[in-house]
Structure 1
Amino acid sequence: MSHLRAVPDPPDEGEGVPIADPATAEEAPTPVPGPPAADSWEPRRYPSTIGGAFYLLVLGIVFVGIGISALGDWREGVRWIGMALLLAAGVRLVLRRQDAGMLAVRHRLVDVGMLAVTGAALILLAGSIPEPPVL
């Protein structure tokens, strides 16, 4: 594939010095590496960090909680979701940023605080909302 570049118009009479052609400069542009060869590339089939595995575990527990909420007792389902968020907060607190995978979104204390507060709030609200009166 040939490289296309814009060539400046020649200067009119009386104009200053023409613009230097960047292709003739001393330093040649460094080549950009292309994608790996098709036969050497294989898609990843597993999480690349331990935090990615915990993220999938937390996501699975949240889906269980949603299923319990949809099919049965909503309070129990919300408790499952709250516990999943507390688990995510604990894992994020322990793991380094490089190992935390998708659990690492912001600074460690911000991630842990938001996950822990949200998880605890869900558990407390599920237990404190009164049952509606039976008519």
Structure 2
Amino acid sequence: MPAAEVPEDPPVRRYPSTLGGACYIAVLLVVGAGLVIAGVGEWRVGLRVVAGGLAAAALLRLVLPEREAGMLAVRHRFLDVGILVGVGIALVLLAGSIPEQPL
């Protein structure tokens, strides 16, 4: 009688599986904190925090190798960086250009 084959255990997976995945989670936390700050009342500061998170994501996307970029890699590298930087700049300009409104 032949011995039954025992399947090997799958390799242990670390979560997140790439450095870019960990960076993506960090960017989400920063953007989430900015949204909370904006929702509480200091919306200009909140938008600047969100813009900073997007700028950090752009920098990380630029320097991380394609294989390690994780969910930061959606399209081509420079298109991802351009979109992230563009939205970040737009948020900073928006926060600075709207005048204070009296209550």
TM-score by length of 1: 0.66
Tell me how many residue pairs correspond in the alignment. 98
The residue that corresponds to 1:46 in the other structure is 15
Provide the identity percentage: 53
Q: Distance in 2 between matches of 1:93 and 1:110?
A: 10
Aligned: 1:82 with 2:35: no
Q: 1:87 to 1:41 in 2, by over 3 A?
A: same
SS in structure 1 of the partner of residue 69 of structure 2: helix
The residue that corresponds to 1:98 in the other structure is 67
Q: 1:39 to 1:74 in 2, by over 3 A?
A: farther
Structure whose alpha-carbon radius of gyration is higher: 1
Deviation digits for residues 12-65 of structure 1 (CA, Å, limit 9, x no counterpart): xxxxxxxxxxxxxxxxxxxxxxxxx89824774521111111100000001101
Retained in 2: the 8 A contact 1:83–1:123? no
Deviation digits for residues 88-122 of structure 1 (CA, Å, limit 9, x no counterpart): 00010111110100000000010000000101110
Aligned: 1:119 with 2:88: yes
Shift of residue 123, structure 1, vs aligned partner:
1.1
Spell out structure 1 runs of 4+ moving beyond 2 A.
37-45
- RMSD over equivalenced CA pairs, Å: 2.0
The residue that corresponds to 1:107 in the other structure is 76
Q: 1:49 to 1:129 in 2, by over 3 A?
A: same
Q: 1:42 to 1:112 in 2, by over 3 A?
A: same
The residue that corresponds to 2:3 in the other structure is none
